[in-house]
Amino acid sequence: MEFVITLIANPDRANLQQRHVDHVQTEFGNAKCVSASPSWLAPDIACDIEFEGGDVTGLRNNIASQVSEFGIDAVIQPVLHRRKALLLADMDSTIVTGETLDELAGIAGLKDRVAAITERAMRGELDFKEALRERVRMLEGLPATSLEETLNTTEFTDGGRQLIQTMRANGAYTVLVSGGFKFFTNAIGKKVGFHEDRSNEMIIENGVLTGEVGEPILDRDAKLMSLNSISANRDIPMEKTMATGDGANDLPMILAAGLGVAFRAKPVVEEQAPAAIRYGDLTALLYIQGYRREEFRE
């Protein structure tokens, strides 16, 4: 079979039922596709159905829309090169649940103002570099100890460590690449288990933030360059790469990767990404690759 669809529920809900699978197979029949028997990757959570024939783009849109009504994600992709050898992942609102810069601003009583700029930048409405500089300028004079305070309250997205540890155990190289800051990516990357992290530098002098960002700023172009350079240097074909994130600055690497995944993403990202996860946690990126629950590493 040439293609595979993976149906994925959030593990906390575990609401993927046989009737959902039957519905998809009926859609395949209506589209004159030939499909194989379903293969459950995790009971009530994830199921694969391989198929061939039909209008793949039309099927992707129709089925994803239909199962979305039940809080279920659907991803269609080629069977070939399904397991990836390189993963690039965004940090804020992807590996962690919030925006670290917004939370840092909260200590200065500026969270609402900074978060409004962040939201617009992530939707692609503002130039990323200028939006970053503007937000950091607002934090001038904030004690550097606020970084540690913010880190200590940062919440991790469910499934992140399982995603990274499982891919690492199967030989993949993993990179945390963020428009955020090194203080956070270094600590969070180590906690989750990434091989390396790439991000920006926040300038600190005499124990306080200067309100400046180190140059050059890692932006959407730098994320794409990271994908290209790491895959080339490690001799990993682009079709064996995966990139995931939620914001407009993630879109170039998402579109260039072998499989780009919009994870609980802004509309501009979800509309263009080849795959989207709205409901599942980060283990969805393992099910997409065909991993079974019993293969997960903690």
Nearest to 262 by CA among 284, 240, 247: 247
Residue among 12, 22, 73, 92 flagged as catalytic: 92
Return the closest-CA partner of residue 181 out of 234, 267, 105, 254: 105
Cα–Cα distance for residue pair 161/270, rounded to 1 Å: 24
- The amino acid occupying position 78 is P
Q: Are 59 and 76 in contact (CB under 8 A)?
A: yes
Is residue 246 flagged as an active site residue?
A: no
Using CA atoms, how far apart are residues 221 and 253, in angstroms rounded to an integer?
A: 8
Residue type for position 62: N
Q: SS3 helix, strand, coil % of the chain, rounded to 5?
A: 45, 25, 35
Chain centroid, CA 32 distance in Å: 33
Per DSSP (E only), the strands in 11-131 are 34-35, 39-42, 46-52, 72-78, 86-89
Sign of the torsion angle spanned by Cα atoms 9, 87, 56, 263: positive
48, 73, 90, 281: the catalytic one is 90
- Concerning whether 281 is annotated as a catalytic residue, the answer is no
- List CB contacts of 31: < 8 A, sequence separation 6 or more: 53, 54, 55, 58, 59
The answer to whether the CB of 245 falls within 8 A of the CB of 263 is yes
Residue 5 has φ and ψ, to the nearest 5°, of -110, 135
Residues taking part in catalysis: 90, 92
